[in-house]
Structure 1
Amino acid sequence: MTSTHRRILIVVATHPEAARLRDLEGGGTRVVVCGVGPVAAALSTQAALLGGTYDLAVSAGIGGAYPGSGLRPGDLAVSSELVQADLGADDAGTFLDLETLGLSVEPGVDPGHTGRFRGWDGGAEAARRAGGAYGPALTLSTVTGSAAAARALEARYPGALTEGMEGAGVAHAALRCGVPALEVRGVSNMVGPRDRSAWRIAEALAAMRRGVEALREG
Structure 2
Amino acid sequence: MTGLLVLTAVPAEAEAVRAGLTDPTVTVRPVGVGPAVAGAATARLLTLAEAAGRPYRAVVSAGIGGGFAGRVAIGATVLGTRSVAADLGAESPEGFIPVDELGMPPELLGGGPTVDADPELLAALCAALPEAVVGAVLTVSTVTGTAASTQALADRHPDAVAEAMEGYGVAVAAAHAGLPFAELRTVSNPIGPRDRGAWRMREAFTALTAAARALS
TM-score norm. by structure 1 comes to 0.89
3-state SS, counterpart of residue 152 of structure 1: helix
How many residues align? The count is 208
Aligned-partner Cα distance in 2 for 1:32–1:129 = 22
Amino acid at match of 1:59: S
Deviation of 1:140 after TM superposition, in Å, equals 0.2
Aligned-residue RMSD, C-alpha: 1.9
2:4 corresponds to: 8
Q: State how far apart, in whole Å, the 1-side matches of 2:106 and 2:8 are.
A: 23
Aligned 1:45-84 pairs, distance under 5 A: 45-52=42-49, 53-69=55-71, 71-84=72-85
Q: Counterpart of 1:113 in structure 2: which amino acid?
A: G
Whether contact under 8 Å (1:68, 1:154) holds in the other structure is no
Residue 105 (structure 1) shift: 7.2
Shift of residue 103, structure 1, vs aligned partner: 2.7
8 Å contact from structure 1 (residues 186, 206) kept in 2: no
Q: Deviations over 1:132-171 (max 9, x none)?
A: 1111000000000011111110111111010000000000
Query: What are the superposed Cα offsets for residues 187-209 of structure 1, whole Å, 9 maximum, x if unpaired?
Result: 00000011111111111112223
35, 38, 41: which is aligned to 1:38?
35
TM-score, normalised via structure 2 length: 0.89
Task: Name the amino acid aligned to 2:93.
Answer: A
Note the 1:174-193 alignment, pairs <5 A: 174-193=174-193
Q: Do the aligned partners of 1:57 and 1:174 also contact (CA within 8 Å) in 2?
A: yes
CA separation of 1:25 and 1:128: change in aligned 2, threshold 3 A? closer
Deviation at 1:127, TM superposition (A): 2.8
Map 1:90-169; keep pairs closer than 5 Å: 90-92=91-93, 94-103=95-104, 106-107=107-108, 113-121=111-119, 122-130=121-129, 131-169=131-169
Is the 1:25–1:31 contact (alpha carbons within 8 Å) kept by the matching residues of 2? no
Per-residue deviation, residues 80-109 of structure 1 (Å, max 9, x unmatched): 0000000000012511112211236743x8
1:20 to 11, 16, 19: 16
Moved more, 201-210 or 73-82: 201-210
Counterpart-to-counterpart distance in 2, 1:49 and 1:74: 31
SS in 1 for 2:29: strand
Per the alignment, in what secondary structure is the counterpart of residue 208 of structure 1?
helix
Q: C-alpha displacement at 1:76, in angstroms?
A: 0.4
Superimposed CA distance per residue, residues 18-62 of structure 1 (whole angstroms, 9 cap, x where no aligned partner) = 111235386421111111000010011101111221111111110
Do the aligned partners of 1:66 and 1:162 also contact (CA within 8 Å) in 2?
yes
Provide closer, same or farther for how the CA distance between residues 49 and 25 of structure 1 changes in structure 2, counting only shifts above 3 A.
Answer: farther
Which ranges in structure 2 are unaligned for 5 or more consecutive residues? 50-54
Unpaired runs of 5+ residues, structure 1, are none
1:193 is aligned with what amino acid?
A: P
Distance in 1, Cα, partners of 2:167 & 2:150: 18
Do the aligned residues in 1 keep the contact of 2:17 with 2:208 (CA within 8 Å)? no
Q: Identity of aligned pairs, percent?
A: 38
Give the secondary-structure state (helix, strand or coil) at the position aligned to 2:138. Answer: strand
